[in-house]
Chains A and B, each alone.
Chain A
Amino acid sequence: MTLADLHPDELLRRATYDRITPGERADLHAHLERCPACALELAVRGDAATAAIPSEADHAVAARIVDRVLTSKIPVHGASVAGPWRGRLARAAVIALMLTSTAVGASAIAVRLHERRATTARPAPTAAPVIEAPRTHHVRPAALPPVPEPPTTDPEGPTEAIRAVRPSPDERIARPHARPEIASAPSVTHAALQPPAVGVTAPAADSAAAAMVLARAEEARAQRRFADATRLYDDLAARFPGSREEVVARVLHGQLLLDEMHDAASALRWFDRYLAREPGGALAEEARLGRAQALQLRGSRDGERAAWEELLRKHPASVHAGAARARLGALRAP
C-alpha cells in the first residue's frame, strides 16, 4: 500500500486548523502531491468552515424562517406555535441571540487576553544577553505551530462561539498553552464590556448589533481569517462608534494588527484611541503593553522606553512588570 492509499484523515482535519507539527506537515504535503482528492478535501474543509459562519444574509434568512414557522399554523407539540405573543417573542429572541453572542464573544476574548497575558508574563526561557521584549509571537516556541481555535462546524459544541474556545472531541494534539486559569480570565473582559461610569449609552438594539459584529470579528480571528476580522473591527468602529463593544475592540484590533499582521503603526493608533477614551479602563494595561510592543517593533527606542515606564507607573502590580523592567534594562544598556 502506498502513501497515496493511506489518506491521512486525522492530519487533514488538524491541518484545517493549522494544528500539525512541521514533521506532520511535511508528511501531509508529500501525500497531497500525489493525492489530488486529499488536496481538494483540504481546500474544501477550509471553505466549509468559513461557510459555516453565519453571514448577515444567513441571519436574515434565519429570521424570515423563524418568523414563518412562528406565524404558521404548523402544529408543533400538537398545537400551533403562533399566538398573540409572537411579535414580542420575535423581538425578545433577537435580543437573546445578541446577548448570547455578546456572552460567548466575551468568553472568547477573555480567553485570548488571558493567554496573551500568561504568555507575555512568562519569564524568558534563558538568561540571554539580549533580553527580548515580551512579544507574544516572539516568545512562542518555534517548534509549535500557531494554534487557531476549531471552527464552528465542530458538532459537539453548544454554541458557535463557545465552541471556539474549547477543543473538538477528537482532537488529539496538546495545546501549547494550557488554560487552567480560564475561570479567572473573564473578569477582565467582562469588566471591559461593562459601561463606564461616564460614557455613551447606546440603545439596546444598537448595543446588541455591535455585540454581534464583535463576536463575528472574534470568530474570524479565532479561525485565523485576519483580513475578515480586521474588516469586521473596522465595520464596528464605523457603525457603532463609542459603543462598549467598539471601545473594547480598539484594543483587540490593535493586538490583532500587532501580533498577527505585524502592522505596528496601525496597532499603535488603535491602542492610542483606546487610551484616549479610557485611560483608566479595564483594558488600559493591555493597551499600554501593546503600545510598548508596537513601538519596539517600529524601532522607536525612546518611545518604547517611555511606554514601558508608563506601564510600570500606571500599573505597578502588572503581570508584565517584570518583563517591562527587563526590557527597560536592555534599552538602557549601551
Chain B
Amino acid sequence: MTRPGHRAPALNETGETGEPGVPEVAAPPTPDPLLPLAQRASRGDREALARLLSLVAPAVVTTVRVVLGSQGADLEDAAQEAMIAIADSARRFRGESSFLHYARRIAARTAFSLRRARLETARKLAEATAAPADARPSLEPAPSAEVEREQRLEAFRRLLDQLPEGQAESLTYRVLLDYPLPVIARETGVPVNTVRSRIRLARDHLRECILADPALAELLREPT
C-alpha cells in the first residue's frame, strides 16, 4: 500500500513539475488509442478513468520493475503509487504525447524517487552499522536465462547507484527505458548536450568500475 512520504509529485502532461521553458513532446505520429478515454477521464468520467488505469497498468508495472527491480512488495507499492499519481494527473493530460507515454514517465519518476529513497536509507543504515552495502551482484550460477537477466539488470542498477544523481537518472532513461535524448533532456530539465555529457561521464565511470572489479566482467557472459 501507499507509504507516506514517498508520494510521487503530481506532474503536468510533459512530465514536469512546473518548471518553465522545457519543450513539449511532439505529438505521436499515430493516433493515440487511449486519447478518447483520457479526454473523458480528464473531464471527470470515472468509468473512463477506471478503464484507462486498467489499460496502462501492465506498462506501469513493467516500467517500475525495470527501474526498481523485482522487489516484491516494493514493486507493488511503487506501481500503486505511480497509478495513484497517474490518476491524479489525468486531468492535466492534454494529448501532447500518448497517454501511455505520459503514464510511463510518471511511473519512471515514481520509481526513481523510491529507489533514491531506498538507497539513502541503505546508506544511513550502513553508516550506522559500519557494514557497507555490497555493490557487487551475486554471481551464483544462474538457473535460467531469466534469472541471469535480472542479475545483470540488478548489477547495472547497483552501478547506477554509485553515480551522481543526474548521471544515474540520464543513463537509466537512456539504457533501461530507451528514451531519446531530447526526451531525457525534458525529463531532467537540462539541455540535450548536458544529457550527452552526463551519459558519457556515466559510461566512463562504469568502465572504471568494471575494470577495477573483474567479477563484474562475469556479467558480460553470453546469456545461457
- B87 pairs with A76, CB closer than 8 A: yes
- B100 pairs with A158, CB closer than 8 A: yes
- B49 pairs with A169, CB closer than 8 A: no
- A100 pairs with B149, CB closer than 8 A: no
Residues of A within 8 A of B54 (CB): 62-63, 66, 90, 93-94, 96-97
- A61 pairs with B79, CB closer than 8 A: yes
Binding stretch for chain B, among A79-87, A235-243, A254-262, A300-308: A79-87
Residues of B within 8 A of A58 (CB): 58, 61-62, 65
Contact with A along B1-43 (1 / 0, CB 8 A): 1100000000000000000000001101111111000000000
Rounded to whole Å, the gap between the CB of A33 and the closest CB of chain B is 11
Q: Is the interface of A mostly helix, strand, loop or mixed?
A: helix
Residues of A within 8 A of B32 (CB): 158
- B50 pairs with A155, CB closer than 8 A: no
Complex alpha-carbon distance, A74 and B1, angstroms: 11
- A162 pairs with B30, CB closer than 8 A: yes
Residues of A within 8 A of B181 (CB): 9, 170
Interface positions of B from 135 to 155, Cβ below 8 Å from A: 149-150, 152-153, 155
Is B134 among interface residues, defined by CB-CB distance under 8 A?
no
- A93 pairs with B178, CB closer than 8 A: no
Binding stretch for chain A, among B109-117, B120-128, B215-223: B215-223
Instruction: Name, among B181, B196, B203, the residue most crowded by chain A CB atoms within 10 Å (CB to CB).
Output: B203
Complex alpha-carbon distance, A169 and B204, angstroms: 26
- A155 pairs with B105, CB closer than 8 A: yes
Contact with A along B39-83 (1 / 0, CB 8 A): 000001011011101110111111101100000000110011001
Is A11 among interface residues, defined by CB-CB distance under 8 A?
no
What range describes how many residues of A lie at the interface?
35 or more
- A155 pairs with B62, CB closer than 8 A: no
Tell me the nearest residue of chain A to B101, going by C-beta.
A155
Is B94 among interface residues, defined by CB-CB distance under 8 A?
no
Residues of B within 8 A of A40 (CB): 152, 155-156, 206, 210, 216, 219-220
Rounded to whole Å, the gap between the CB of A42 and the closest CB of chain B is 9
- B156 pairs with A44, CB closer than 8 A: yes
Is A24 among interface residues, defined by CB-CB distance under 8 A?
no
Residues of B within 8 A of A83 (CB): 46
- B34 pairs with A93, CB closer than 8 A: no
Is A69 among interface residues, defined by CB-CB distance under 8 A?
yes
Complex alpha-carbon distance, A77 and B26, angstroms: 27
Rounded to whole Å, the gap between the CB of B187 and the closest CB of chain A is 9
Is B190 among interface residues, defined by CB-CB distance under 8 A?
no
Contact of A66 with B207 at beta-carbon distance under 8 Å, contacts A48-B177, A92-B51 already known: no
Complex alpha-carbon distance, A36 and B2, angstroms: 39
- A69 pairs with B33, CB closer than 8 A: no
Rounded to whole Å, the gap between the CB of A230 and the closest CB of chain B is 15
- A43 pairs with B152, CB closer than 8 A: yes
Residues of A within 8 A of B30 (CB): 157-158, 162, 166
Contact with B along A7-51 (1 / 0, CB 8 A): 101000100100000000000000000011111110111011111
Is B167 among interface residues, defined by CB-CB distance under 8 A?
no
Is A118 among interface residues, defined by CB-CB distance under 8 A?
no
Complex alpha-carbon distance, A76 and B50, angstroms: 11
- What are 21 A-B residue pairs whose CB atoms fall within 8 Å in the complex? A9-B199, A37-B206, A47-B153, A51-B150, A61-B79, A65-B79, A65-B83, A66-B50, A76-B49, A76-B84, A85-B47, A89-B47, A92-B51, A96-B54, A96-B55, A100-B33, A151-B178, A153-B177, A155-B105, A158-B31, A160-B58
